[in-house]
Amino acid sequence: MKVEHNISRIRHLLEMYRMGVQDFLQKISIGLKNPITKEDVFGKEIQISYLKRIDKIFEKGLHYYLDPKAPEKSKEASVFFRKQNFQNDELNLGAIKIVNQFEELKLSLSAIAKLSDLDFKRQIKKYSISDNPREIALKARKVLYPRFDKNRRNFLKALISSLATKNIMVFEFIETWNKKEKANIDGFYLKPNMIVLKRHQSFSREIFTLAHELGHYLLDEEEIEEINYSVYNKNLSTIERWCNDFAFFFLAGNYSKTLDTLEKASSSNDYHHDFIEKVSQNTHLSQLSLFTRLLYQGKISKSNYKLVREEFEEIFRQRQEEKEREKQLLKEQGIKQRGSVAKPIPSPLFLSTIQTAYYEGVLNEYEVCKKLNIKPEKLDKYI
């Protein structure tokens, strides 16, 4: 069965997703004996079965392609129309999907805020890369750094709550283990006030990512990236270096002064392992990222840094192998492992926005449940 469709909407999505026509045709033809051709897609009519294949990529719903209205290409609609180049210049389909998902959420929340008379006005001034990231980090700590909690998840939750008090909305996205194409990003910042983080097994990595993206917010420079802060990288842009420095000093606080006074790490002082472990426990900076900072400061040689890094990598490898052995043992014993699906940490600013919209009559109960991704029977916990 064929239907008339709006070709401009498909072209709009291809441009937004930075996908070439041939790549697109290959993706929607997977598993077919006779590949779908350009004429099949960009003719006046299209097979519904082809539209369903297209929607498996973009997940817009079939009605989207049948809508005769031309899509609006605006800078407000997508960061991919506002910016051409990103630190990660090989964003995969999974990453682009996530970004577009939160762009749509951002536009929705902006409309809800206006209807509910809410103001998301920026409360912290903008800075530039000419400003000293260490000085800005110390200023930001006085306003945004929460009470320290040794539990990393609790600290992350507290930091997200602290940012909410200054109209900065933070979201986590969680990818299931069986997702075919996982997003090759750690986080991103979208103007004017949204930060998005990928849930990691390591909360210290996620905490650093949040501090790094906070740097982007302070510079008001949008970015979508995969952050590798534990490896010495000379190819980072000026903005990325600024945000990395900001994140380090924001999390390290007064410990950064102590690191400045350390003698050069070597085998004679056991590479300061005990001290670095202590700093890591009291800042949530990973030990490897702290050694990377020493490398930046010239307080450890590249060869010694390589030795330390390889040591951490070997410890991590052994831990992973031990986990796999434990899983296999339980499997052999017939013991089923029950793992609950992780839930994202909600931003208090997001929750309060949805609650206000409900009280003002902007959203009904069904819409509140949909926005919060909760079952109707749990609604009374939120409103």
At residue 341, the 3 state secondary structure works out as: coil
Q: Which residues contact 343 (CB under 8 A, 6 or more apart)?
A: 174
244 with 238: CB under 8 angstroms? no
Mean pLDDT taken over the chain: 90
Q: Residue 334: its pLDDT value, please?
A: 78
pTM of the model: 0.89
- Buried b / exposed e along 351-365 (16+ C-beta atoms within 10 A): eebbbbbbeeebbee
pLDDT tier, 228 (very low <50, low <70, confident <90, very high otherwise): low
pLDDT exceeds cutoff 70 at 265: yes
Report which of residues 351 and 2 the model is more confident about.
351
pLDDT tier, 339 (very low <50, low <70, confident <90, very high otherwise): low
Report which of residues 66 and 202 the model is more confident about.
66
Sort strands 169-173 and 194-198 into parallel, antiparallel or unpaired: parallel
Q: Residue 197: its pLDDT value, please?
A: 96
Q: Residue 102: its pLDDT value, please?
A: 94
Q: Residue 66: its pLDDT value, please?
A: 92
At residue 39, the 3 state secondary structure works out as: helix
Which of these ranges, 39-53, 73-87, 246-260, 353-367, has the smallest mean pLDDT? 73-87
Segment (H or E) for 272: none
Which of these ranges, 118-122, 171-175, 197-201, 228-232, has the smallest mean pLDDT? 228-232
pLDDT exceeds cutoff 70 at 308: yes
Nearest Cα neighbor of 80 from 63, 62, 95, 61 is 95
Listing DSSP states for 179-235 in one string gives: -SS--S-SEEEETTTEEEEE--S-HHHHHHHHHHHHHHHHHT--EEE---TTS--TT
CA dist 159 and 211 (Å) reads 9
Amino acid type, 104: E
pLDDT tier, 232 (very low <50, low <70, confident <90, very high otherwise): low
Nearest Cα neighbor of 252 from 281, 214, 210, 213 is 281
List C-alpha distances in Å: 333 to 112, 320, 326, 337, 357.
53, 20, 11, 11, 52
51 with 3: CB under 8 angstroms? yes
302 with 233: CB under 8 angstroms? no
312 with 288: CB under 8 angstroms? yes
- Look-up of token digits 């409103």: 383
Which of these ranges, 234-243, 309-318, 362-371, has the smallest mean pLDDT? 234-243
Task: Give ∠ CA 54-173-168 in degrees, rounded to 5.
Answer: 120
Q: What are phi and psi of 189, to 5 degrees?
A: -120, 130
In tens, the pLDDT along 181-221 reads 788 999 999 999 999 999 987 899 999 999 999 999 999 99
In tens, the pLDDT along 97-126 reads 999 999 999 999 999 999 999 989 999 999
pLDDT exceeds cutoff 90 at 179: no
pLDDT tier, 229 (very low <50, low <70, confident <90, very high otherwise): low
Q: How many CB atoms lie within 10 A of CB 197?
A: 24
187 with 227: CB under 8 angstroms? yes
Q: Residue 201: its pLDDT value, please?
A: 73
